[in-house]
Amino acid sequence: MKAHIVRIGNSGSIRPPKTLLQGARLEDEVGLQADSGRILISRLLKPLLNLFLVKPA
């Protein structure tokens, strides 16, 4: 799939199609990582409740 980078001030933006986002199960926030000629976009995992840090009532 091909996309164009749109310049916005000092930043760039890419608008992937909705079907691509749904297929990758991406939500509102994503992780970004630069890697040798590419940008990796990954789903952020929600932290699990740590039962050892919860104080009993």
Tell me, yes or no, whether 49 lies in a domain.
no
Tell me, yes or no, whether 35 lies in a domain.
yes
Q: Which of 49, 14, 17, 48 is nearest to 32 (CA)?
A: 14
Number of domains the chain is built from: 1
What is the tens place of the pLDDT at every residue in 6-43? 999 999 999 999 999 999 988 888 999 999 999 999 98
- Is 6 in a helix, a strand, or coil? strand
Tell me, yes or no, whether 55 lies in a domain.
no
Tell me, yes or no, whether 39 lies in a domain.
yes
Domain, as residue range, for 32:
18-44
Whole-prediction pTM value?
A: 0.63
Tell me, yes or no, whether 40 lies in a domain.
yes
Tell me, yes or no, whether 38 lies in a domain.
yes
Are the CB atoms for 15 and 2 separated by under 8 Å? no
Tell me, yes or no, whether 34 lies in a domain.
yes
Write down the pLDDT at residue 40. Answer: 93
